[in-house]
Chain A
């Protein structure tokens, strides 16, 4: 069962049987939009980058992105930079794996962002999505479509935060502009 999330919706990351999740994957997939007109078959490459920022009490502590693929504590791992997106498949082109049990005790929120490194806006991207998967069994927990991508080069996708003893995910879907996560920090802070 997949939940299609809308902006601002929160879901709890409890398993149906009551156990808590131990590992989740934030997947990001996209395709470059074909250009119309003459030479329409020539698509331009689009490089989207997924990043995860780890916060402790609203202060950024660590970040996982294409230049720092593993958080110092090892709990959050980026599978590596994909420069061109998918070639028609619906799979994840970049993924960030989060080992929830291993996250340091002071980290209470992890914010996931997507940036267009090559500068195209989301209007030029097709089928872009962000999804959260239970890494232990491959089950999709939530999917957020980058629908109606306007004149924006970045999006703050979702946050995973502590709720009681477990974790919760909230879809944010806030558009923003910037090339890497650093440019998004001012836009992230209000969501913490």
Chain B
């Protein structure tokens, strides 16, 4: 029998072991505080939260999620605990909703272990609050009861915890959020499961394009709305409920992939009007995918490039690469799971052999141990065989896919770059490097991220934990980081149509002149790299003003009233050696650009060692977290969205001695001049 509680109502609890289920529709943080008979939380060790999920008698989830199941055993709580408050909070600093008024009313239920609901409560009436005490379980005359509380706090977790009498409330709220965001920030954003509708309309206009590879770089279809008109923050469907200025598309959680239409280009204010029906976008059927030759009996099918769904060759290759990424993650998960199982079984069997008194005399014990090891080896061998079979298939696929990739997806040594021509259309994604796992060092998966970038990039010039990073000396590492940044920037410049991507550089100390040479000498930069504090301030002021103007125009629905001299291209700001040359004001402006920029087409690429900015303390933590961390040397710090393996990232490097950057950037500069932009 379920009691549906209203605010303030209570209900007796007859069981001690309970589950508290939360469903909120959007990822929320769930936690619990324990308080004494005076209602005071005695210290941080009385708070269960994602950074410290288990306390005697209560356990909460380690991460933000739309659904939670908190386990609670009232008998296991310390005697001094008289009240357990169940609290929910919206994670901050991840681009998600910032007020409960923008999400569906959270539902909380207390259930027995058999799933039977004891009491439930829908936390309604919330608005600007970002943290709420949903329920409390409390002792009354020796028995436990549950009460629906629903007390919200606009000041978030910090205010909530302060209200409960916790002296270190603010620090704890910060560390809770840190724990949550770290969980989110490590994951590579999941790809949209199906082609986004926005993409379909984009590609349906050029149905014949996929058939030849050269064509995919220079399709003749205009109609691509320029990004800062077509991509205003707040136009995407999932952003509609959020407050203005909260860009939603950057939400990087693996469990809730961003709505695909939010990362593409909905035709928004100011762009050309999209007359196509959202549910019926395919005007012409896409070209048929390439067909694989029939497999010989008993052999796996021969892989072909473009063997995936999509409306163009580009989209099919993108989906195929993500499919390979997922297959490799899952095959490796199967292998690791089997090996773990083999090991735990062997340990159990060895323990058993040791504890069996009969086995201690004679050779029986040795035989049992030998048998346990043999079983382990046999299972591991079979698991490896299955993995090798999968790896062979994926390697064969990579061998046909890699040469077929268009420049935006291709390695710098791919011949596609030699036949490079300035494209007419923005590609759906760009390759930032390669990913591989220890089990499959020979097989790399291209790391493709969607365009326009949802998050800024941080090229880490600090020492990493990896082997190669620890031997390179720190000046080498800084130069390498800047080289990597220039290669990424050159790729972005090259894959955008002429004049649709503008790159600014801040090099306050002027220390990166050699790395920047390809960009400077070909004349593709908007202005020479800015040096000194004055240069820093001037560039930041210009970009900040631009973000403000575009935001105002979008909010006011007056995109056509922007000044005519405003550059409509997407903007990329490369900052070398941050925070050198930055004062407090400049740092604040940079953080503003990181938060607000991506939604209005202003992107950041920071080349920095986090240690150099240590003086700012935790002030900059949100900045680092909001950026996608990339390294100039191979480093294992990225997680996949399916299983959460740690992948080794290897940046896309220009082969030594290659002139490909010069060649490509020269063409970009020429095309720009001929377009007179």
Q: Which A residues form the contact surface with B (CB < 8 A)?
A: 56-57, 59, 61-62, 67, 70, 72-75, 102-106, 177-180, 183
Query: What A residues does B334 contact at CB under 8 A?
Result: 72-75, 102-105
Secondary structure type dominating chain A contacts: loop
Query: What A residues does B338 contact at CB under 8 A?
Result: 56, 104-106
Number of interchain pairs (Cβ within 8 Å): 63
Number of interface residues of B (CB under 8 A): 24
Indicate if B224 sits at the interface (CB-CB under 8 A): no
| Given contacts A62-B337, A105-B386, A74 and B331 within 8 Å (CB-CB) | yes
Chain B's closest residue to A179 (CB) is B115
Indicate if B79 sits at the interface (CB-CB under 8 A): no
Contact between B330 and A73, CB atoms less than 8 A apart:
yes
In angstroms, Cα B642 to Cα A183, docked, is: 26
9 inter-chain pairs at a CB distance below 8 angstroms, sorted by A residue, are: A56-B341, A74-B330, A104-B383, A105-B338, A105-B383, A105-B386, A106-B337, A178-B115, A179-B116
The one of B115, B333, B379 that contacts A73, using a Cβ cutoff of 8 Å: B333
Nearest CB in chain A: distance from B388 CB, A: 12
Nearest CB in chain A: distance from B333 CB, A: 4
Contact between B331 and A106, CB atoms less than 8 A apart:
no
Contact with A along B340-354 (1 / 0, CB 8 A): 011001000000000
Chain A's closest residue to B117 (CB) is A119
Contact between B67 and A73, CB atoms less than 8 A apart:
no
In angstroms, Cα B116 to Cα A44, docked, is: 19
Q: Give 10 nearest A-B pairs by CB, closest first.
A: A179-B115, A74-B330, A73-B334, A104-B334, A72-B333, A106-B338, A105-B382, A106-B341, A104-B338, A56-B341
Query: What B residues does A59 contact at CB under 8 A?
Result: 341
In angstroms, Cα B115 to Cα A70, docked, is: 23
Which of A57, A102, A104, A177 has the most C-beta atoms of chain B within 10 angstroms of its own C-beta?
A: A104
Query: What B residues does A61 contact at CB under 8 A?
Result: 337, 341
Query: What A residues does B115 contact at CB under 8 A?
Result: 178-180, 183
Nearest CB in chain B: distance from A107 CB, A: 8
Nearest CB in chain B: distance from A27 CB, A: 22
| Given contacts A106-B341, A178-B115, A72 and B643 within 8 Å (CB-CB) | yes
The one of B331, B337, B345 that contacts A57, using a Cβ cutoff of 8 Å: B345
Query: What A residues does B385 contact at CB under 8 A?
Result: 105
In angstroms, Cα B114 to Cα A177, docked, is: 9
In angstroms, Cα B386 to Cα A103, docked, is: 10
Indicate if B197 sits at the interface (CB-CB under 8 A): no
Besides A72-B642, A73-B331, A183-B114, 17 more A-B contacts (Cβ < 8 Å) are A56-B338, A57-B345, A70-B642, A74-B327, A74-B642, A75-B330, A104-B338, A104-B383, A104-B386, A105-B382, A105-B383, A106-B338, A106-B383, A179-B114, A179-B116, A183-B113, A183-B115
